[in-house]
Chain A
Amino acid sequence: MTHAVKYHPGMMLMEQYVEGTLAPDVALAVATHIDLCPHCQRLCQDIHNDQASSLAADDAPVMADDFAALFSAITAEPQLEKPRKTQQRDAVTVNINGREFRVPRALSRLANQHGKWLQLGGVATAKLPAGDKMHVSLLYIDKGTEIPNHTHLGLEMTLVLSGTICDENGEYGAGDLLINTPADTHTPHTRADEDCLCLSVLSAPLKFNKGLTRLLNPLQQFFY
């Protein structure tokens, strides 16, 4: 990989992700980031070891229970055979605008079931069957395209899967995770010669700031 990932989820999100206490849709963005980021792959392993040691510690709290019946029931069960070869999941691709993109492991099952692409100008979105509280979708932005200046009414997580997104705060390449909150306003755009595919996780619609609000209203529904 030529591009080094620069924007990571941060320690608190990583710990909750490993613990399994993060909201599933947010955890999906973190998992996809980890697939693309060797640094966080190791961090993740470190947190696993750390949390597991607390569970296995000598002085961990212990409950007195009679587990004899459970022990007999379990050991009466047949064991699973070791698979000959660890099966690799087939590479999953998504197609949009005549382009084919390979998606990371964490998204492969869900990306296979994406909803139909809705296209508006140079932007297209397809919903993933993932969200309960959040809105989870693939977001495609054609080259040389700008998403109008907007504020966020909730949490916006954008994970770049391919290409580059630029905004007032910086440039984000494959693997980079952008997190925006109601305190942030920005105008994301792609480069003139490169399109971009992202995973987008939104907890609330975007609020567009400029231009003719009436014209932008449908746009707001489009993103959410």
Chain B
Amino acid sequence: MTISAEPHIRSGQWEDSLNFVALNADKAAYAELFNYFAPRLKAFGMKMFGNEQQALEMVQDTMLNVWKKARLFDASRGCASTWIFTIARNVRFDMLRKKQSRKDDISADDLWADGDYPELEESSSDQWETMLLSEKLAPYFDALPIAQRLVMQKVYLEEKSHQEVAEELDIPLGTVKSRIRLALDRLREALDDTRS
């Protein structure tokens, strides 16, 4: 477990905060979001841009959008952190494009649909669960990104429920399901490559 100086994050906390911001322009709720995400966005910006000025510009535009667009957030489409991440990604993309100042050029709005695709029903991954037990996949398992490997290990080796894993790792339930599907897709790709 990681030791954190910050108070424990309750699941659903950021979604609630966003709703308060949306309903009442609640500054206290916004402060919670701001204090948690602004420093993280700055670190993310430093990694992507490699300089402080642009990183700060990204934090500023992203957090401004979180405040202004809070009423557009729809929790049924995904969790708050995903929403904030996509805002930051789009801000960063358009910042890089603006430098080249071509107004007809590809924009973030063209590239990312903002979640207006219809929901798909869960497809069964049963056949993969049996495949996972076979030794054929073992070498590829180690090549999975660590976050995905951790989830897979807890679900398939320690036989924990998705909910238990979400609580243990402090991540949204949707992310647990996403990481399992991503890991399965990667394993499938690795296996297909060895076949062809």
Question: Which residues of A are at the interface with B, using a C-beta cutoff of 8 A?
Answer: 10-11, 17-20, 24-25, 27-28, 31, 34-35, 38, 41-43, 45-65, 67, 70-71, 74-75, 77-83, 86, 105-107, 109-110, 113, 129-130, 132
Once the chains bind, are B78 and A49 in contact (CB under 8 Å)?
yes
Instruction: For the complex, count residues of B whose C-beta is within 8 A of A.
Output: 76
In the complex, which of the residues B22, B34, B106 contacts A67, with contact meaning CB atoms closer than 8 Å? Answer: B34
B68-106 interface with A by 8 A CB criterion: 68-72, 78-79, 81-82, 84-86, 88-90, 92-93, 97, 100, 102, 104-106
- By a CB distance below 8 angstroms, the chain A residues around B34 are 67, 71, 74
Once the chains bind, are A113 and B102 in contact (CB under 8 Å)?
no
Q: What is the chain A residue whose CB lies nearest that of B60?
A: A70
Once the chains bind, are A52 and B182 in contact (CB under 8 Å)?
no
Q: How far is the CA of A41 from the CA of B123 in the complex (A)?
A: 14
Q: B168 contacts the other chain (Cβ, under 8 Å)?
A: no
| A51 and B39 in contact, given A28-B111, A59-B2 (Cβ under 8 angstroms) | no
Q: What are the 10 closest A-B residue pairs judged by CB atoms, nearest first?
A: A56-B81, A52-B85, A46-B178, A49-B178, A82-B71, A52-B82, A129-B104, A61-B43, A59-B2, A24-B106
Q: How far is the CA of A110 from the CA of B107 in the complex (A)?
A: 10
Once the chains bind, are B92 and A25 in contact (CB under 8 Å)?
no
Q: B147 contacts the other chain (Cβ, under 8 Å)?
A: yes
- Dominant secondary structure of chain B at its interface with chain A: helix
- By a CB distance below 8 angstroms, the chain B residues around A45 are 78, 115, 117, 178
Question: Which residues of B are at the interface with A, using a C-beta cutoff of 8 A?
Answer: 2, 4, 6, 9, 14, 21-22, 25, 27, 30-31, 34, 36-44, 46, 59-60, 63-64, 67-72, 78-79, 81-82, 84-86, 88-90, 92-93, 97, 100, 102, 104-113, 115-117, 120, 147-148, 170-172, 174-175, 177-179, 181-182, 185-186, 189
In the assembled complex, how far is the CB of residue B103 from the closest CB belonging to chain A, in whole angstroms?
9
In the assembled complex, how far is the CB of residue B87 from the closest CB belonging to chain A, in whole angstroms?
10
In the assembled complex, how far is the CB of residue A85 from the closest CB belonging to chain B, in whole angstroms?
12
In the assembled complex, how far is the CB of residue B78 from the closest CB belonging to chain A, in whole angstroms?
7
- Number of A-B residue pairs at CB separation under 8 A: 184
In the assembled complex, how far is the CB of residue A39 from the closest CB belonging to chain B, in whole angstroms?
9
Once the chains bind, are B93 and A20 in contact (CB under 8 Å)?
yes
In the complex, which of the residues A24, A42, A54, A107 contacts B97, with contact meaning CB atoms closer than 8 Å? Answer: A24
Once the chains bind, are A46 and B182 in contact (CB under 8 Å)?
yes
Once the chains bind, are A24 and B178 in contact (CB under 8 Å)?
no
What are 23 A-to-B residue pairs whose CB atoms are below 8 Å?
Answer: A11-B189, A19-B89, A20-B92, A20-B108, A27-B106, A34-B113, A45-B115, A48-B86, A49-B79, A53-B81, A55-B81, A55-B84, A59-B2, A59-B4, A61-B43, A62-B43, A63-B43, A65-B38, A71-B34, A80-B71, A80-B72, A110-B104, A132-B102
Once the chains bind, are B27 and A50 in contact (CB under 8 Å)?
no
| A35 and B113 in contact, given A62-B43, A77-B64, A79-B70 (Cβ under 8 angstroms) | yes
Once the chains bind, are A49 and B111 in contact (CB under 8 Å)?
no
